[in-house]
Structure 1
Amino acid sequence: MPGPYPYGETIRILRTGASPGRDERGQPLPGPDASFDVEGCVVTPRVETPQVGGDQQQARDTVIVGWTVYVPAGTQLHTTDKVRIRGVVCEITGEPGDWGRSPFTGTRGPVQFAADRVTG
């Protein structure tokens, strides 16, 4: 099913399902792959303006720090999920925000989250 933005892009939510138990050393076993695609998303660069005279400000005004992503209303995201955007694996930074229902139209707005490239 296409998302609300007909020219949006498809991203992949990378999720591991619940652990089926523990190994012989008592460590949790990895759960099954529960990843899924989300179509019709809006992906925009997320910028940060460095403080004047700060370490990051060296002949540039803004620094791209990741993406802001808008997914269709009702998309369930966990802070433990990762996301693949344009072939790059990112972490969901902070709590995803649900825009809720418009008091003017009654329609639901998107779910918004910040995504940062996985490092290390």
Structure 2
Amino acid sequence: MPGPWPFGEPIEIVRPGAVTGRDEYGKPVTGPPEVVEIRGCVVVPRQEPPHIGGAEQQGRDTVIVGWTVYAPTGTDIRTTDQARIRGVLCEVTGEPGNWGRSPFTGTAGPVQFAADRVTG
């Protein structure tokens, strides 16, 4: 599963700019964000898990809260990044996972991460 996948789609990684100094309150001032396009990603919708119990669980509609992304081997994804997926800006949530190498083929696997829509 090395990727990039020929029918995958591009996403953009939006990384915070470098710290260029401090403001009058001592908070870091950053430069413009760095935007990097990653091609050949597999993007699948991720739904909110239903709450356990009763009629609420049985009658609940599926709520899509973001995506799971499988990026090509070696893609640098950080927990501080954002991802623009299908025009929607998302937060990278949780720690990105590197699948490592297959014990059967020796090929390297994808980098997997969750991306939640930015709200508010």
Name the TM tier (shorter chain).
Answer: 0.7 to 0.9
- Number of equivalences: 117
Is 1:109–2:113 an aligned residue pair? no
> Is contact 1:89-1:118 (8 Å) kept?
yes
Is 1:68–2:64 an aligned residue pair? no
- Aligned AA (1:53): G
Higher strand residue share: 2
1:17 alignment partner in structure 2: 17
Following superposition, the deviation at residue 62 of structure 1 comes to: 3.5
What is the TM-score with the length of structure 2 in the denominator? 0.86
> Is contact 1:49-1:61 (8 Å) kept?
no
2:27 alignment partner in structure 1: 27
Following superposition, the deviation at residue 6 of structure 1 comes to: 0.5
Aligned ranges 1:88-107 → 2 under 5 Å: 88-107=88-107
Following superposition, the deviation at residue 10 of structure 1 comes to: 0.3
**Bigger relative contact order (CA 8 A; separation at least 6):** 2
2:54 alignment partner in structure 1: 53
1:39-83 Cα offsets, whole Å, 9 max, x none, are 00000011244123264x362364322111000010011101000
- Aligned AA (2:87): G
1:118 alignment partner in structure 2: 118
- Aligned AA (1:75): T
Q: What is the Cα-based RMSD across aligned positions, in Å?
A: 1.8
What is the TM-score with the length of structure 1 in the denominator? 0.86
Instruction: Give runs of ≥4 in structure 1 deviating > 4 Å.
Output: none
